[in-house]
A and B are shown apart, each in its own frame.
Chain A
Amino acid sequence: MSNSSPIDQTVNHLFRQASGKMVAVLVKIFGPEHYTLVEDVVQDALLSGLETWKFNGIPDNPEAWLFRVARNKAIDMIRRKKHQYNIDFSDPEQLPPSAEYMLSSTFDQYWQDQAIRDDFLGMMFACCHPDISPENQVTFILKSLCGFSTREVARAFLTSEDTISKRLYRTKEFFRANNIRPHIPPPAQLSGRLDAVLNSLYLLFNEGYSATQHEQLVREDIIAQAIYLCQSLLDHAHTRQPRTCALMALFCFHAARIHSRLQADGTIIPLSRQDRRQWDQALITTGNEWLNKAASGATLSPFHLEAAIAYEHCIAPGYAATNWKMILTYYDALLQLTKDPVILLNRSVALLEYAGAPAALQSLEALQGHRQLSRYYLYHAVLGEIYKSMNEKEKAVACFEQARQLTTAQQEQQFLSAKIADT
């Protein structure tokens, strides 16, 4: 995928995307308590497509072809096994109370374009229910809406299939116990629920963006999924909010730089030494367009500010020529919105460049003794960087060493070892 942007990747994901949409519609039809049945119908439809298209080629509208197969299989299931699955025909949310011979026309309504889009988003909201933990949210999104297998999700999160299976099981049980169905929240609740969805996508993107120990393809795959899901939010009038646009802009600006962040062997290249000619200008332009659209509302979300910071980095001709003053302003605004110590940490890096080491050091004093941060390798790495620029070599090396002990990622350890040797 090195020659195409993560946005274009979606055309190569016919099976995955069709899978996600079919899961959403079928969960609506059968209810979350029949999730295994949903997965069976989807798998069956995909296999029919594969076997037929091997010999005959892909039809003009393969997705519609798969939906038709899934629709027919679902009708079959209900006709043959309705007693076994005990589907509640009287539940108006689940199936309209139509006579069985009406099934066919009732089912057609489920597979209208707009209904599919609604269910897909509805499923995203269901996955991001506030009572589901963030890690379970992203796990279930990848599995249900992105068509990842359990093994593929495990690889994406660098964990075991067993762990992923347990997370999926817990979410399915939660759906079942609370009768959670795919649906877009009513206007009164939409704002808060959308925040949860956006945060989940942000988390997913970061998983792909910052997990340096991943192979390149896996990282880009996760990034492409986050962008795909964000795009589906932007395609819908209800969820196309300014902060959704801002999140997309942020994704674009970060994704534009993924190829320059790591060496072939996986070693991290710091921003100051990245080859800026490798940055994807088309993605930066797309990101800028989304950032402009994000400016339409009255609200300023953290995504707006993070995107604005990323934008400043993208347009800077070089590291030293970066508009650090502007970036500092954005960080200050960000701190008004959230008291996240990691933001204060990142701000100190900008401060180091703009106002020098003493100012940066002073700003970090507020964080001294912060328990979580003292275990965060980046905190010590930044401190080391500050001491280094003050020529306090011993202190710098001590900080880099502490940072090296705190990270488990091999690439980060190598990076810090190089720093120590260089100090």
Chain B
Amino acid sequence: MQEFLLIIRGGKDPGNASPQEMQQTLQHWQKWMGELIASGNYIGGQNLEPAGLTVLNSTTVTDRPLVEGKELVAGYLLLRANNAAEAAELTKGCPGLAQGCTIEIRAIRQLHLS
């Protein structure tokens, strides 16, 4: 088993979604996350606030993230999978994809070589 970091970019829900549409979106996410937890693939994850800081060097700190909009990291997930292909397969179910977000999958380098 290997661990993977899923970096979810963009795809924040449009501000004009109706309460019922939001409810449906949430239900899709609950279903997807629930399946990942039930199958043992889920390790953890968080949603990120859109606001942030960027430390450019030891003297300069900007008051926003480096990128905006579609490039902005909306959240991350940690998954457990046999290999990258399996991690990608699990990721395809993410409801955020339908809302235009992209998901980068990065294998976490292991300290101990097997």
A interface residue numbers (CB < 8 A to B): 12-16, 18-19, 43, 46-47, 49-58, 147-149, 151-152
Contact = CB atoms under 8 A, between A and B. Distances in A.
B15 A43 contact: yes
Contacts of B17: 47
A147 B23 CA distance: 11
A43 B21 CA distance: 12
Nearest to B27: A12
A57 B19 contact: no
B15 A52 contact: no
Contact of B12 (A14, A15, A18, A51): A51
A152 B47 contact: no
B55 interface: no
Contacts of B13: 47, 50-51
Given A51-B13, A53-B26, A19 B19 contact: yes
B30 interface: yes
Nearest to A150: B18
Contacts of A57: 30, 33
B29 A152 contact: no
A52 B74 CA distance: 11
Contacts of A13: 19-20, 23
Nearest to B21: A149
B26 A50 contact: yes
Nearest to B95: A54
A15 B29 contact: no
A51 B29 CA distance: 10
A15 B45 contact: no
Which of the listed residues B12, B22, B25, B47 has the most CB atoms from chain A within 10 Å of its own CB? B22
A149 B18 CA distance: 5
11 contacts: A12-B23, A13-B23, A15-B19, A16-B23, A43-B15, A47-B13, A47-B17, A50-B22, A53-B29, A54-B47, A57-B30
B60 interface: no
B30 A15 contact: no
A152 B12 CA distance: 22
* A-side interface mostly: helix
A152 B20 contact: yes
Of B16, B26, B45, chain A has the most CB atoms within 10 Å of the CB of: B26
Contacts of B22: 15, 46-47, 49-50
B58 interface: no
A55 B23 contact: no
For the complex of A and B, 5 pairs with smallest distance between CB atoms: A149-B18, A15-B19, A147-B19, A55-B47, A54-B29
A43 B23 CA distance: 13
Contacts of A147: 18-20
Contact of A51 (B16, B21, B33, B47): B47
Interface residues of B, number: 23
B93 interface: no
B13 to A, nearest CB: 6
B112 to A, nearest CB: 29
B18 A148 contact: yes
B30 A58 contact: yes
Given A14-B23, A54-B96, A56-B46, 11 more contacts: A13-B19, A15-B23, A15-B26, A16-B19, A16-B20, A47-B15, A47-B22, A51-B12, A54-B47, A56-B47, A149-B20
B47 A52 contact: yes
Contacts of A56: 46-47
Given A47-B15, A50-B13, A50-B25, A55 B20 contact: no
Contact of B18 (A51, A55, A58, A152): A152
Contact of B19 (A46, A55, A58): A46
Contacts of B46: 55-56
B90 to A, nearest CB: 16
Contacts of A46: 19, 22
Contacts of B75: 54-55
Nearest to A62: B26
Contacts of B16: 149
A151 B45 CA distance: 34
Contacts of B45: 55
A419 B45 CA distance: 62
Q: Which of A13, A15, A16, A151 has the most CB of B within 10 A?
A: A15
A47 B16 CA distance: 10
Contacts of B25: 50, 54
Nearest to B28: A54
A14 B20 CA distance: 9
Contacts of B15: 43, 47
Contact of A15 (B20, B74, B96): B20
A152 B21 CA distance: 10
A38 to B, nearest CB: 14
A51 B23 CA distance: 11
A210 B23 CA distance: 27
Contacts of B30: 57-58
Interface string B66-84: 0000000011010000000
